[in-house]
Structure 1
């Protein structure tokens, strides 16, 4: 991956939340969208990044520079530590 992939900010948030360990249902709740919307966006992102599974999606997103350190900012509004997310 060369890091030149452009994605919508909503998709970037989905990637970040998934990378932080949340499942689709929790991502949907956090973003105020339906579970099905998250599933469709994940499938679209997997296709865009050439990933055959979710683990590969995270790796490809990281390689493309679409993520940040997983123990930092989850969304643009506030900082949440990974340990806090996993406890919920």
Structure 2
């Protein structure tokens, strides 16, 4: 089934960056592509994985094993650190 999804390395990168909580604009900067490119790719990913929104996209990607274990980005403060 995974091979039927036709996901490339960029798709997996986008999913991973989304899981880290990055916005489309931040993902675009990281991948050095346009903001609209990321928006379009996210829409395509939602269609490929048959989900209605970004949250469901991340959950489905994790369920399918498309993403490894979550390791927080040490350069980004956690929610708890933001509130302290």
TM-score band (shorter)?
0.7 to 0.9
Structure 2 CA distance, aligned partners of 1:86 and 1:40?
28
Q: How many residues align?
A: 77
TM-score under structure 2 length normalisation: 0.81
Give 1:12 shift: 0.5
Give 1:58 shift: 0.3
TM-score under structure 1 length normalisation: 0.77
* Greater RCO structure (CA 8 Å; 6+ sep): 1
Moved >4 Å (runs of 4+) = none
Higher helix content, 1 or 2: 2
Query: Please, what is the CA RMSD of the aligned residues?
Result: 1.7
